[in-house]
Amino acid sequence: MTVPRPASRPVEWRVSDNPVSYPEALGFMEERVAGIRGKGMAECVWVLEHPPLYTAGASTRIEELLDPGRFPVFPTGRGGRYTYHGPGQRIAYLMLDLETRGKDVRSFVAAVENWAIAALGRLGVRGERHEGLIGVWVDLGAHGGRPGEIAKIAAIGVRVRRWVSYHGLAINVDPDLGHFAGIVPCGIADKPVTSLLALGITATVTDVDNALMETFEDIFG
């Protein structure tokens, strides 16, 4: 599924090499969302990492925070439940004008999933959707595990304000997977989380950035 791109100025790309605090990232997103709608500012994709933290989505259940003192917890208005962010996880925040891209949130979420799948494909991983499960999954059988057993490699959570999107996509490159144990990731207790490194893919965050940039136009162009 492709989200049509408006005939306007190019999308601005920001790439941060050092960890960005969650409040700083959220403040920037909210300011850019307001600027896109009210001042005609350019759409933006910001690729970054956070220091270790948990975010709580709109559907969060407090009992799914298993280790409350482990890392800071930040409430957020995006969809979904608890999610971990930290070093070794590449995040792409999407501030796009959906008013000129069809005003279809469901199609936009599907496009973000397609983007993750396309980027992972560039890195030698076959990402999959699974009915009733948000995000992108991998069949571990293709990487030495039990055939048919799936694990989550990319989380998706978006918010839309006045038809401008923010928040976005997180791909596990080589994070400490033990950090996910402090929550029930995305409310799914019976399926594991994985990473490129755990699958035997020694990609760097730069490789992931390049894959995201190379496939962006195919999905959102």
For 36, phi then psi, to 5°, come to: -65, -45
> C-alpha angle with apex 170: 167 to 171, nearest 5 degrees?
160
* DSSP H or E stretch at residue 114: helix 105-122
Q: 76: which 2 tokens?
A: 């957020």
Whether residue 12 contacts residue 63, with contact meaning beta carbons closer than 8 Å, is answered with: no
Q: Could you report how far apart the first and last alpha carbons of the chain are, in Å?
A: 11
Tell me which residue of 52, 208, 133, 72 sits closest to 216, measured CA to CA. Answer: 208
Gap between the Cα atoms of 71 and 74, Å rounded: 10
Q: Considering the candidates 173, 186, 208, 211, report the single residue annotated as catalytic.
A: 186
Q: 190: which 2 tokens?
A: 């019976």
Gap between the Cα atoms of 16 and 178, Å rounded: 24
Gap between the Cα atoms of 120 and 157, Å rounded: 18
44 catalytic per annotation: no
97 DSSP β-pair partners: 164
Q: Which residues are catalytic?
A: 186
